[in-house]
Structure 1
Amino acid sequence: MSFIADKQTLEDMNMLGKYNHHSIFNLFNKVKTTGGEKLLQQMFQTPLTDAELINKRSRTFAYFQSTQITFPCSNEQFGAMENYLSGSIGKFFPGVIIYHASKKLQAAVLRDEEYPKLQNGLQQTIAVLRQCKAFISQFEEKARQKHPFYDELQMVKTILSDPKLEWLNKAQSGQSSLLNTARYDYLLRHTMQQALQTVMDTFYMLDVYLAVANLAREKQWNFATALPNGTNLFTATELRHPNINKAVANPVSFNSDSNLIFLTGANMAGKSTFMKAFGINVYLAHMGFPVAANNMEFSVKQGIYTSINVPDNLDMGLSHFYAEVLRVKKVAEEVSSGKNLVIIFDELFKGTNVKDAYDATLAVTAAFSEYRNCLFIISTHIIEAGEVLKHQSNIQSLYLPTIMNGSVPTYTYQLETGISADRHGMMIIENEGILELLEAQIN
């Protein structure tokens, strides 16, 4: 079963995007190889829903976080080997000899570049395979005991120790004779092609593990513990946004008897940032990746839905309010189907009038809260709804305060228990001199 996170959710949390410099993917994209980058993209697109697999991946990252190991090859070297091995070669060795003889003749007579390129690709591949073999030997000396990536590296060691590859350490650098070039080429691109693809795939995986582990060590991030679904537990201390330097941290706690946070606070108090931080860390935790939180434990969920930046759709004739309603309907369908989900709603029904927003926020929040297998964070400016909802035992009323220094608002970004009483909108408008500006233009 795949983890659910639709396009709207991924955009709200800014999860994906190789060319989006502020995406969470780009934050983690410190890999050395193109193959490693593709694997990292795949991991971001397919979070896990099995607690055992999540914890196994986390343990592997944590292990490499504790080491000082560097990836042994460059992207150029691995790219050259990948290009070389992906080329076609005949199934029968005599035909390969004829092919090489033909290409060598063309290179001599017609100055054709294909044969020199083939020889270069062969030499690059030999060099990379030697480096991989040396890396495994050095790594085993450092490890001295079984580790989470042991089986994968042992499989590569077995492949590279195959008697058919004994010549690797003896092969001379530079151009080989026609017969040796043909023999090596046939062995690498036909006889052992699938086995060598396994070697590359394993080192791409190693590339990802080392890159993510190094980032976790640099940022001093930790690894969450995944629990089987059903307990509906989430707890973390010092949870913060991973893409904000020196972000303010907050504790977060949920269980079946306290499964909804009703969040209030002024604009700019940090509500959206807190909710995104929570959602991003939930997503990363299901990937088995490091999280910007301490002591994090979570029951595995089937997916996450957010409604933070819901756009209108003029092409379909949808107003902002109706787009919000359709988003809530979509989430309601998923929740009522029995799925175990994390739901984040920022400013429900802000596209309609205050009375309708109050009634809808109150009714929808109360209805969602009854699904004790899911976790919810719902923010609003309609603090009157919070006064009614705070009497439900499973709803946590939290707010982000505003502190006034005279007429200037400041923000702690630190969660407090209760419902916000901040009403500083007009004061901020006055501080910006908007009314005076308009009056001056009239006069």
Structure 2
Amino acid sequence: MSFVADKQTTDDLNLLGKYKPNSIYGLFSKVRTPGGERLLDAMFQQPLTDPVAINRRSSLFRYFQEKELVFPFQPAAFRLAEEYLSGGVAPGLVRSGFSVMRKKAMGIFLRDEQFMVLSAGMQAAIEMLRQLSGLIALIDGEKNPWKQELESVSLVLADTRLEWVRQHEGEPVTTLQLIRYDHLLRHTLRQEMQLVLNAVYEIDVYIAVSATAQESKLDYAMAFPHTRSVLQADALWHPALDKAVANPVHLNSAGNVLFLTGANMAGKSTFMKSLGIAVYLAHMGFPVAARGMQFSVRDGLYSSINVSDNLNMGYSHFYAEVLRVKKAAEEVSSGRNMVVIFDELFKGTNVKDAYDATLSVTASFSRYHNCIFVISTHIIEVGEALASYHNLQFAYMPTVMSGNIPVYPYTLKQGITSDRHGMMIVMNEGILEMIKGN
């Protein structure tokens, strides 16, 4: 079963998009090869739901991080080798030789560049194979979680038919050698060369992602089967913020609903996004902005943070919110093990309806102990009405007053806040004086 996260969720958390400012994908997008980028894309599009597979991938990134390997291939040279090895060649040696000789003749008499491109591609492929042999020697080790793939690549590189590659000192090959080796690489060993390229793509991703983990001081989460029903971290922060404040989170089946209150700008949305990002990356087996994170695999992640109206469909902001809640209800009631994040439920309607709807929806969702819910609101009275629900945890982001100026420490506290500073912020901005002055 694939991990569920719709476009609204990935947009809320700014997960995807290579060129989107501060996107999580952009944080890890330091791969050097087109194949590595395709593999990175696939990993972001398809989080895992098998704890064994998740933990194995995490161990791979951790291993490569400990090795501190440097990707040895220059992008332009590797792309030349990749294009050469991916190209077709005539099945028979004679036909292949005739094709090479034809390209050479066209180069001499018509200044055609096909022969030059062919020769340069082979030279690049030879150098790539030599560099890969050196890199493989550095990766080898007793505790290498990439051992099976490593052995497959090593068998290809040790093939006696590639002895000439190991002996090659960079001198140009003759035309006859080019004919023979071209047919060998692109026909006889075509599948083996594709295996080699795939291995380079994987190495590219492992080195790039582990380098990001090292640079950004990220850590790795431990995945457990869904039956354990846990989502916890000793410290959790937003990976795209330079001076992010870390907060703990401890959720399980006995306390699976986190009810969050706090003033505007206190940090509620950032905390919720941090949690959602960590859940998504953890299911990818990627490094997370958390310490001591453990989680039970989930079927999906669902958020409602930046919901807007839909003019094309004729939906108001409030109706769009209602539809998001309905969609989450469908996922949860179907039996899926979900992580659901609601930021400021029903803020598009009046306070009385928002109070009633938030109270009813939170109480109803809390019955599903197999899911994790994080729900924030400005309406602190809802939290007081939910105090008798034993599986709810109440937390808030405090506001500390420095005179008439609110200061936000962004630290999560237990309980329900009584902070009400909205009018004070309006007064501090001098809005009323401005209006009266006109």
TM-score (norm: length of structure 2): 0.98
Check 1:359–1:225 CA distance in 2 against 1; reply closer, same or farther (3 A cut): same
| 1:212 pairs with 2:212 | no
Please give the alpha-carbon distance, in whole angstroms, between the structure 2 residues aligned to 1:132 and 1:62. Answer: 21
Corresponding residue number in structure 2 for 1:16: 16
Q: Secondary structure of the residue that 1:304 maps to in structure 2?
A: strand
> Matches of residues 5-154 of structure 1 in structure 2 within 5 Å?
5-140=5-140, 143=141, 145-154=142-151
> Matches of residues 28-427 of structure 1 in structure 2 within 5 Å?
28-140=28-140, 143=141, 145-171=142-168, 173-427=170-424
1:434 to 399, 416, 431: 431
Q: Secondary structure of the residue that 2:226 maps to in structure 1?
A: coil
Counterpart amino acid of residue 75 in structure 2 = N
Q: Secondary structure of the residue that 1:188 maps to in structure 2?
A: helix
**Alpha-carbon shift at residue 38 of structure 1 (Å):** 1.3
Q: Secondary structure of the residue that 1:322 maps to in structure 2?
A: helix
Counterpart amino acid of residue 5 in structure 2 = A
Counterpart amino acid of residue 183 in structure 2 = Y
**Alpha-carbon shift at residue 174 of structure 1 (Å):** 4.7
Counterpart amino acid of residue 180 in structure 1 = Q
> Which digits, 9 at most, give the CA deviation of each residue in 1:197-237, with x for residues without a partner?
11111111111111111221222221111010122111111
Checking the alignment, whether the CA contact within 8 Å between 1:123 and 1:174 is kept in structure 2 is no
Please give the alpha-carbon distance, in whole angstroms, between the structure 2 residues aligned to 1:265 and 1:252. Answer: 17
**Alpha-carbon shift at residue 177 of structure 1 (Å):** 2.0
Please give the alpha-carbon distance, in whole angstroms, between the structure 2 residues aligned to 1:335 and 1:43. Answer: 25
Equivalent pairs: percent with the same residue?
55
> Which digits, 9 at most, give the CA deviation of each residue in 1:59-93, with x for residues without a partner?
11111221222112122222111111121211111
Please give the alpha-carbon distance, in whole angstroms, between the structure 2 residues aligned to 1:35 and 1:76. Answer: 13
Please give the alpha-carbon distance, in whole angstroms, between the structure 1 residues aligned to 2:138 and 2:360. Answer: 63
Please give the alpha-carbon distance, in whole angstroms, between the structure 2 residues aligned to 1:105 and 1:21. Answer: 51
Check 1:55–1:139 CA distance in 2 against 1; reply closer, same or farther (3 A cut): closer
Q: Secondary structure of the residue that 2:312 maps to in structure 1?
A: helix
Please give the alpha-carbon distance, in whole angstroms, between the structure 2 residues aligned to 1:247 and 1:402. Answer: 17
Checking the alignment, whether the CA contact within 8 Å between 1:307 and 1:346 is kept in structure 2 is yes
Checking the alignment, whether the CA contact within 8 Å between 1:33 and 1:74 is kept in structure 2 is no
Please give the alpha-carbon distance, in whole angstroms, between the structure 2 residues aligned to 1:136 and 1:336. Answer: 49
Please give the alpha-carbon distance, in whole angstroms, between the structure 2 residues aligned to 1:270 and 1:301. Answer: 26
Checking the alignment, whether the CA contact within 8 Å between 1:34 and 1:75 is kept in structure 2 is no
> Which digits, 9 at most, give the CA deviation of each residue in 1:133-155, with x for residues without a partner?
12223443xx4x24111221221
Checking the alignment, whether the CA contact within 8 Å between 2:67 and 2:139 is kept in structure 1 is no
**Alpha-carbon shift at residue 186 of structure 1 (Å):** 0.6
Number of matched pairs: 438
> Which digits, 9 at most, give the CA deviation of each residue in 1:278-305, with x for residues without a partner?
0000111111111111111111101000
Runs of 5+ unmatched residues, structure 2 = none
Counterpart amino acid of residue 314 in structure 1 = L
> Which digits, 9 at most, give the CA deviation of each residue in 1:374-428, with x for residues without a partner?
0000001111111101221101111101111111000111111111111111110
Q: Secondary structure of the residue that 2:292 maps to in structure 1?
A: strand
Please give the alpha-carbon distance, in whole angstroms, between the structure 2 residues aligned to 1:40 and 1:228. Answer: 25
Runs of 5+ unmatched residues, structure 1 = none
**Alpha-carbon shift at residue 116 of structure 1 (Å):** 0.6
> Which digits, 9 at most, give the CA deviation of each residue in 1:140-188, with x for residues without a partner?
3xx4x24111221221110011111111123453542221111111111
TM-score (norm: length of structure 1): 0.97
| Segment drifting more, 173-182 vs 398-407 | 173-182
TM-align CA RMSD:
1.1
Please give the alpha-carbon distance, in whole angstroms, between the structure 2 residues aligned to 1:295 and 1:173. Answer: 49
